[in-house]
């Protein structure tokens, strides 16, 4: 069996990104999102998410150099609870800084303490190639609907895969070098082609909350296995 989580990062960064995430969920294949609790539009994002129970929302930690990792994780986790009135369904980080060897042990310890699935830790596979910029250049063709469909057809493995993405609308609230690409991603996620491929390849969409029901801990240790 092949299962796919499609997760929108930067939820709460701006009103335009919030609109894009909700639209990609309601009209497209996006199933989950990760909330920047200190984002300029985090309160709006939380309100939208609370009205959209099918959207699974995790914590998108923004960890800056010089900050105490454990203290910052705890602060942002508590802020998430204040905004969402619930715990996050998963854990990841802005620019994937948690994959840095300096921070990874701290993130793993925190994730284990609260029973959260941490991005890039097994058994969930990570697919991060749906991104339209590298070497300082924009590559809109790489995030087109046709290319997304091709990637889904060829790169999704057995088990659960998380595809990270950054849909949104450009607005003045959020200054980022990754701007016009967000609107291209949004159009691609809402295009019929990717959904057709998912059906053709028998790839089932699910969110992080649903994925948690498929994954069980091994007895006696903190590792995990798939339950199906």
For 5-22, the pLDDT digits (tens) are: 999 999 999 999 999 999
- Those residues with Cβ within 8 angstroms of residue 158's Cβ, 6 or more apart along the chain or in another chain: 1, 2
For 37-94, the pLDDT digits (tens) are: 999 999 999 999 999 999 999 999 999 887 899 999 999 999 999 999 999 999 999 9
Could you tell me the pLDDT band of residue 217, with boundaries at 50, 70 and 90? low
**Closest Cα partner for 10 from 227, 211, 176?**
176
The number of domains in the chain is 1
Question: Strand 90-93 relative to strand 117-118: parallel, antiparallel, unpaired?
Answer: parallel
Structure confidence at residue 117 (pLDDT): 95
47 token code pair? 């309100």
Structure confidence at residue 224 (pLDDT): 42
Q: What is the CATH number of the domain that holds 47?
A: 3.20.20.370
Range of the domain at 214: 2-226
**Closest Cα partner for 212 from 70, 27, 77, 31?**
31
What's the mean pLDDT when you consider all of the chain? Answer: 93
Q: Which residue has the tokens 């609308």?
A: 169
Query: 81 phi and psi, to 5 degrees?
Result: -60, -40
Q: Is the dihedral of CA 80, 59, 208, 143 positive or negative?
A: positive
For 89-130, the pLDDT digits (tens) are: 999 999 999 999 999 999 999 999 999 999 999 999 999 999
């Amino acid at each position: 069996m092949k299962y796919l989580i499609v997760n929108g990062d930067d939820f709460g960064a701006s009103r335009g990104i919030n609109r894009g995430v909700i639209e990609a969920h309601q009209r497209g294949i996006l199933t989950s999102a990760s909330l920047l609790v200190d984002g300029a539009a985090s309160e709006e994002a939380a309100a939208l998410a609370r009205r959209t129970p099918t959207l699974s929302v995790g914590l998108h930690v923004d960890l800056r150099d010089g900050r105490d990792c454990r203290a910052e994780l705890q602060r942002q986790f508590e802020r998430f609870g204040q905004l969402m009135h619930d715990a996050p369904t998963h854990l990841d980080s802005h620019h994937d800084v948690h994959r840095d060897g300096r921070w990874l042990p701290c993130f793993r310890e925190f994730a284990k303490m609260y029973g959260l699935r941490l991005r890039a830790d097994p058994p969930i596979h990570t697919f991060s190639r749906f991104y339209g910029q590298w070497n300082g250049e924009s590559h809109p063709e790489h995030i087109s609907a046709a290319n997304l469909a091709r990637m889904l057809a060829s790169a999704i493995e057995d088990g659960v895969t998380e595809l990270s993405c950054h849909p949104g609308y450009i607005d003045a609230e959020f200054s980022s070098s990754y701007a016009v690409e967000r609107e291209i991603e949004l159009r691609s996620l809402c295009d019929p082609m990717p959904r057709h491929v998912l059906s053709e390849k028998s790839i089932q969409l699910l969110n992080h909350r649903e994925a948690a029901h498929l994954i069980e801990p091994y007895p006696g240790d903190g590792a995990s296995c798939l339950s199906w």
